Amino acid sequence: MQLKAKRYAIGMITTLFVFIFSFSAFAMDAPTIRLLLKSGIFDLQIGIQEGNYEVIVNNLPTGTLQAGDTITFKKDGLTVQVTVNGEKWENLSLPILLKADSGEDIFSYSNTKYKGSLTLLNASSGLNVVNTVDIEDYLLGVLAVEMGSSMPLETLKAQAVASRSYALCNLNPSSSYDIGVTTANQLYGGYSTATASSTNRINQAVSQTRGEILYHMANGKKEIVPAYYHTNSGGYTENIVDMWNASANPCLIGVESPADTYALKAGSGPAASYQWQVTYTASEIEEAMNDYLKSQGKSQNFGTYQGIKLYRTGSNGKELVSGRVTKMEVIGSGTTITFLKDSAIRGAFNLKSSLFTINGEQGLSIRSVVGTAQNDKFSSLRVINGSNNIVEINSSSQEFYALSKDGICKMIKSDSQSGSSYSGDIVFNGKGYGHGLGMSQWGAIGMGNDGASYTEILSHYYNGTVSFIEKAYE
């Protein structure tokens, strides 16, 4: 069908009203989204807070629940034991749907209130709990925990469009649910957070952008932008193709994000999302790597920690402008473990981002012409000292220092007696929090505080030369 839609060239102030080509992804009403609240549980309790819920099993009405009712479910083989207000019902087969009579009906689960319907599904282990809710109601609960009501209105509007686009991009009719409610997707606090105090600004942000989705053209077709976002980019976002095993996307490319420094003004918690430090001893790294080998089903021993090699090259063979690590080799006397791409690198040592350096206590990081960084053990490294004499570092009694972008670092010599190249701590000095793709939330907050509009914020982080906002439903 033909829809009359509002379309914005992102970054432009003027709003244009145009007719667009056929668009049938969604109906005129807001779509619903299915949220996986919990997986693999064997019993749960649901409370009906407002309205009426119809219990449907195998597409047949089985009973009605009213406000004030408490229902307990316990998996029993392929069926579920059901107790309502302390009275036992007959066992019901799966799936079980608690269908809301209206969009205003509310149930509670695990001390949180939710709007919409609830479905219990059979899982390989236990039950999956899925909440089906209107996308606009869903966004209220997303913004409340992903951003918070104290942020600038234009920042919240940018978050609303990004979160709406991300959610709708993940609708999956072939699956039993669309999206989770953790940081693996985007956080959702339910109706409880959506109705908490001081959420008027969040209500404004969602209502004022209702139905607005971020698009781009791909092979002549309009596609929703998978609008990823993260806490803080540390000053520069990155290309999706270099961070994940994913295809290139013109809307997900690296851009400078100077407004990330606004986090430094917002207290110690936010500041730690911009700049951070993690310290390990050699023995702690050895233990972590041996645990990793066991988790991968490998029998070899990591051995004595020898060092770490960092690589910062992108898919084009050149060093990433952001400086993020794309490959990390952790070297032991028994084996070398290689970590590729963002999530594996961060997960190896529980780092906030892959934008980090390692202090000079490990050795000197030498940059090659192809962009790799390696830690030299100084076994044959020579320097010119203050007397213009060439000195071999390992054979000298002097101490040596290197000047890096992180300051002056002492260079530790190789210890040929112990077989270990390092003494002291291994310190990861990093910036940013998250994968670094798409919108930096603290960057968006900084831009909003500096007076940027939500369209300008989205244009900056999702390449406004190719992306655009369009209203998909009223």
Can you tell me which residue has the tokens 């207000």? 85
Residue closest to 94 by CA, chosen among 121, 61, 123, 64: 121
d(CA 114, CA 106): 6
Residue closest to 436 by CA, chosen among 247, 260, 272, 231: 231
Domain coordinates in residue numbering, the chain: 4-26+136-227+438-471, 43-125, 275-431
Quote the pLDDT of residue 195.
Answer: 77
Average pLDDT for residues 347-367, to the nearest whole number? 75
Q: Which two tokens mark 242?
A: 């270099």
Q: What is the mean pLDDT of the chain?
A: 85
187 vs 8, which has greater pLDDT?
A: 187
227 vs 195, which has greater pLDDT?
A: 227
Distance set, CA 133 to CA 31, 32, 440 (Å): 9, 5, 27
Quote the pLDDT of residue 84.
Answer: 96
Can you tell me which residue has the tokens 């570092």? 393
d(CA 465, CA 456): 12
CA dihedral of 54, 56, 59, 62, whole degrees rounded to 10: -100
d(CA 38, CA 130): 7
d(CA 94, CA 124): 13
Q: Look up residue 313 and give its amino acid.
A: T
Quote the pLDDT of residue 192.
Answer: 87
Average pLDDT for residues 459-464, to the nearest whole number? 97
Residue closest to 444 by CA, chosen among 199, 210, 158: 158
- Report the predicted TM-score, pTM, of the whole model to 2 decimal places: 0.82
Q: Is pLDDT above 90 for 407? A: no
d(CA 317, CA 234): 23
Measured on CA atoms in the order 158, 163, 164, 169, is the torsion positive or negative? positive
Q: Look up residue 40 and give its amino acid.
A: G
- Cis bond leading into 95, ω under 30°? yes
Average pLDDT for residues 378-397, to the nearest whole number? 60
Average pLDDT for residues 310-321, to the nearest whole number? 91
Q: How confident is the model at residue 29 (pLDDT cuts 50, 70, 90)?
A: confident
Integer Rg of the chain from CA: 27
d(CA 266, CA 424): 33
SS3 5: strand
Q: Which two tokens mark 286?
A: 């050895």
Quote the pLDDT of residue 124.
Answer: 85
Segments in 209-340 forming alpha helices (H): 240-243, 268-274, 282-295
Quote the pLDDT of residue 255.
Answer: 97
Quote the pLDDT of residue 20.
Answer: 27
Quote the pLDDT of residue 410.
Answer: 45
Quote the pLDDT of residue 217.
Answer: 94
- What CATH number should be reported for the domain whose range is 43-125? 2.30.30
Residue closest to 325 by CA, chosen among 343, 307, 313, 337: 313
Average pLDDT for residues 277-295, to the nearest whole number? 96
Q: Which two tokens mark 357?
A: 């350096």
d(CA 406, CA 266): 23
Quote the pLDDT of residue 90.
Answer: 86
CA dihedral of 88, 92, 97, 102, whole degrees rounded to 10: -40
- With beta carbons less than 8 A apart as the criterion, state whether 155 and 447 touch: yes
Quote the pLDDT of residue 369.
Answer: 45
d(CA 455, CA 471): 13
Q: Is pLDDT above 60 for 26? A: no
Q: Is pLDDT above 60 for 15? A: no
**pLDDT tens track for 76-85:** 988 999 999 9
Quote the pLDDT of residue 408.
Answer: 44
Can you tell me which residue has the tokens 């942000």? 205
**pLDDT tens track for 322-340:** 999 999 999 999 999 999 9
Quote the pLDDT of residue 402.
Answer: 59
CB atoms within 10 A of CB 76: 13
**pLDDT tens track for 194-223:** 876 557 899 999 999 999 999 999 989 999
d(CA 42, CA 287): 35
